[in-house]
Structure formats: structure tokens, C-alpha cells
């Protein structure tokens, strides 16, 4: 309705050329569906497990089975899956505060963390950070070699799987597997945590399958399937989950309390649909990568490259083009399509950020959205798409609108 005929034709041509890449996505979806179905059947989920609990949430069998489902899918012994975990950032914070004590060393092995992580750690001075609690910090990028001194002394070592606000490759499961083996050979005692946000169900293995001790993520990203309305998950070794649970609730109480507030069904339906939804999102960003690269924009990953998350980076080189891209994605949203979005400071971020998110769940990035810090070289990060068609047509419209400006 807003796309010129020549861009509709471009879409048809591009789509035909991507058939082989889409078929690979379908094969991964099939494997992940079977994994999810196996987990549901293994815990013997019943309709009666989906009941509402309130107050303390004692003896919530539905909550216990939900956590068993997540543990089995993500390769852990135990899990915390709660609506009280508000975001991926919150899941990371609970995990790090649960595992680290004053004087301990936290190491990020994938380089600088995502901006919201900087506040948790204390890289940016904020109240209540790990630094304020006496936790020490170090970082290196394993792709440039391992800092053996940091590894030897690390209590917790973190790999952030997704690229964050960088124009680099996200970490594949094969890379992660090799890196974990190296870390454990240097220091078998270090706790390896993986920030799995944006990466779930993109490949047919998860970080817990290749040796990660703790894996964390958000329910309003991949694993919620666009259905979960809030929540986060933490999966890992049983003793570590117990330590972390005391930060989620209270010491001496741990994971024995926590009402699901009627969201058990919502969360389980979300992860049941997640392999399908993630495959749609992947096809969408592959399509976007193809058409923007064909018009001369630098993209990462390129449409034919292996993917390990749902994020597509597009380099615009100009603030004006970046903002027009984000505004075009917003314009093609089902919610707030008439909103005139602008860049602004946001809690947890060090730079002004522009976010396009006309989503049914606030902040959901498995629904089609994009965001970008307003800093050179002005990179837009596109992600999500419940429908492949949504991402396809929104990308064509955004390309059309960006080219109108770039040709002036």
C-alpha cells in the first residue's frame, strides 16, 4: 500500500534468489521444534498445570514444570523462569549478583558488554553496580586471543553471544564450544555464563549443550515467540541456580516461592511457538540484508553468511539516513504506526538511541523492531518479525524511503 511497484518487483526477485538460504532455516526450525516437543512431553505437562497462582506461589507445579522444560531445552540441570524477571538485563544482573562476592573478578571474554551491562558492572558510574559492591572487572576479546591471567583469576567469565551495538560477527555455537574448552583448560573452576539474548533457536544447539554453566535470556525476545508478555529465564547447573535464586527472592527462600500470576500458559505457548517465530524472523533479516547490500549499503551479516542471532546490522554512514530507516520501520508497524519517533536518552544507555517498536508487547524484539545509538558510523540494528512478510515489506518500504533521501 505504501511501496512502489518497482520495489515490490525487487522483493519478488530477491526472494527467489534466497530459496536455498530459507531452506536451511527451515531445517533448523524442524530440529528445534522436535527439541521443544520432547521437553514438553518429558515433563508430562498437563492442562491442570496451567492454573493461576498468587501470593507466595508455594507448590506451583506449573512453575516447576515450566522450569524443567527450559532446563531440558537449554542444556541445564535447573532453571528460573519467572514473570518477576523483567528483561534480559535483569536476568544478567540477578545472575552476576547471585554468583559474585566482594573481591571476586568478573571477566567479559567477548569484549565490551552491551550498553545496559555497563551499568550493572560499573563501567559507567551508576548506583548499585557490582563495582560499588567490590567486584573487580576485566575484559578481552577471545577472537584476538585469551588473556590467561584474567581467565586464571576469573570467578565468572561471560560470553555475550550477540554483537550488541557493534559492527562485528555474533558468536556462533561452534566458536563458543571451542572457546569454552580453552577457558576450562586454563581454569576448570571458573563459572562460564552466556548472555543468550537474540540467539535462541537460531542454531540447533544452545550454549548449555556445549559447556556453558549458566545461560540467561529474555522472554520477550526469541523464546517468548511473540506471545509471552514479560519475563526472563536463567538455566544452568543446579547449585548455581540455587545461589542465583536467593537474589531473585531472598536468602533462605530461593526458588521455592514466586507466583506465576496466570502466565504459565502464556510462557509455555511462547516457547512452543518460538522455533517457528524465530525462523520467520531469520528469513526476514536475511531478506533485508540482501536488498540493502544490493543497493550499496554495508551489512553484517551478509545474506549468505552463517547466522547465530536474529540481529541485522546495516551501516548508513549518516544520521539522517539512519533516522529515516528507523522511522520507516515504525511507519510499517501494527501499533503506533503514526508515531513520529526521535532519538532520545534512555535508562541504561550511554548515548541517545532511536527505537522503532510498534509492538504488542512493549520492548519486544522478537516482534519487528529496530534500534540504534546515534553515533558514527550510524548503524541500524533490525531484528524480529513474527511474520516473515512483515519484515519483508517493512524492509522494502524502508529501503524505498532511505533511497529518496540518499539521492538528493
Where does CATH 3.90.1150.60 sit in the chain?
5-31+273-406
The mean pLDDT of 13-28, rounded to a whole number, is: 98
pLDDT band at 115 (very low <50, low <70, confident <90, very high): confident
Is a pLDDT exceeding 60 seen at residue 408?
Answer: no
pLDDT band at 38 (very low <50, low <70, confident <90, very high): very high
- Percent residues over pLDDT 70 in the chain: 98
Closest among 363, 281, 274 to 69, alpha carbons compared: 274
Average pLDDT, the chain: 96
Class of domain 51-272: alpha beta
pLDDT for 351 equals: 77
Reported as a single tens digit per residue, the pLDDT across 61-98 is 999 999 999 999 999 999 999 999 999 999 999 999 99
pLDDT for 114 equals: 87
pLDDT for 66 equals: 98
Contact 320, 342 (CB under 8 A): no
pLDDT for 233 equals: 98
As a whole number of Å, the end-to-end CA separation of the chain is: 24
Reported as a single tens digit per residue, the pLDDT across 157-190 is 999 999 988 999 999 999 999 999 999 999 999 9
pLDDT for 331 equals: 95
Is a pLDDT exceeding 70 seen at residue 393?
Answer: yes
Pull the grid cell for residue 117: 551491562
pLDDT for 1 equals: 66
Answer CATH for 5-31+273-406 from 3.40.1010.10, 1.10.10.10, 3.90.1150.60, 3.40.50.620: 3.90.1150.60
Reported as a single tens digit per residue, the pLDDT across 185-229 is 999 999 999 999 999 999 999 999 999 999 999 999 999 999 999
Rounded CA-CA distance 136/86 in Å is 26
Reported as a single tens digit per residue, the pLDDT across 330-385 is 999 999 999 999 887 766 666 788 999 999 999 999 999 999 999 999 999 999 99
Where does CATH 3.40.640.10 sit in the chain?
51-272
Amino acid at each position: 500500500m505504501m511501496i512502489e511497484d518497482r520495489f515490490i518487483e525487487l522483493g519478488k526477485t530477491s526472494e527467489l534468489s534466497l530459496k536455498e538460504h530459507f531452506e536451511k532455516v527451515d531445517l533448523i526450525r524442524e530440529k528445534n521444534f522436535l527439541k521443544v516437543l520432547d521437553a514438553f512431553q518429558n515433563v508430562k505437562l498437563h492442562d491442570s498445570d496451567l492454573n493461576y497462582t498468587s501470593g507466595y506461589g508455594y507448590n506451583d507445579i506449573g512453575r516447576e514444570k515450566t522450569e524443567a522444560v527450559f532446563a531440558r531445552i537449554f542444556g541445564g540441570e535447573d532453571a528460573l523462569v519467572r514473570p518477576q524477571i523483567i528483561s534480559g538485563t535483569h536476568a544478567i544482573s540477578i545472575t552476576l549478583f547471585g554468583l559474585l562476592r566482594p573481591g571476586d573478578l568478573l571477566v567479559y571474554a567477548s569484549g565490551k558488554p552491551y550498553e545496559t551491562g555497563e551499568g550493572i558492572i560499573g563501567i559507567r558510574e551508576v548506583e548499585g553496580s557490582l563495582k560499588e559492591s567490590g567486584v573487580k572487572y576485566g575484559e578481552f576479546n577471545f577472537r584476538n586471543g585469551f588473556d590467561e591471567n584474567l581467565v586464571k583469576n576469573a570467578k565468572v567469565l561471560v560470553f555475550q553471544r550477540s554483537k550488541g551495538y557493534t559492527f562485528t560477527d555474533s558468536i556462533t555455537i561452534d566458536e563458543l564450544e571451542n572457546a569454552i574448552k580453552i577457558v576450562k583448560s586454563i581454569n576448570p573452576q571458573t563459572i562460564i555464563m552466556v548472555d543468550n539474548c537474540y540467539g535462541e533457536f537460531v542454531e540447533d544447539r544452545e550454549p548449555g549443550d556445549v559447556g556453558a554453566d549458566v545461560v540467561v535470556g529474555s522472554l520477550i525476545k526469541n523464546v517468548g515467540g511473540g506471545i509471552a508478555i514479560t519475563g526472563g529465564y536463567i538455566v544452568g547447573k543446579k547449585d548455581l541456580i540455587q545461589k542465583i535464586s536467593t537474589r531473585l527472592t531472598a536468602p533462605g527462600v530461593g526458588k521455592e516461592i514466586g507466583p506465576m500470576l496466570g502466565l504459565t500458559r502464556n510462557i509455555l505457548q511462547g516457547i512452543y511457538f518460538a522455533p517457528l517465530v524465530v525462523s520467520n524472523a531469520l528469513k526476514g533479516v536475511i531478506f533485508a540484508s540482501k536488498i540493502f547490500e544490493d543497493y550499496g549499503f554495508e551489512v553484517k551479516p551478509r545474506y549468505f553468511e552463517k547466522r547465530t542471532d536474529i540481529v541485522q546490522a546495516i551501516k548508513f554512514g549518516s544520521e539522517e539516513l539512519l533516522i529515516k530507516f528507523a522511522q520507516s520501520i515504525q511507519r510499517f508497524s501494527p501499533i503506533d504506526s503514526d508515531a513520529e519517533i526521535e532519538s532520545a536518552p534512555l535508562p541504561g544507555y550511554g548515548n541517545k538511541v532511536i527505537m522503532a517498536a510498534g509492538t504488542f508487547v512493549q520492548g519486544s524484539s522478537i516482534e519487528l523492531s529496530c534500534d540504534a545509538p546515534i553515533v558514527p558510523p550510524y548503524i541500524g540494528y533490525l531484528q524480529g518479525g513474527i511474520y516473515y512478510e512483515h519484515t519483508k515489506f517493512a524492509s522494502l518500504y524502508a529501503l524505498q524511503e532511505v533511497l529518496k533521501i540518499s539521492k538528493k
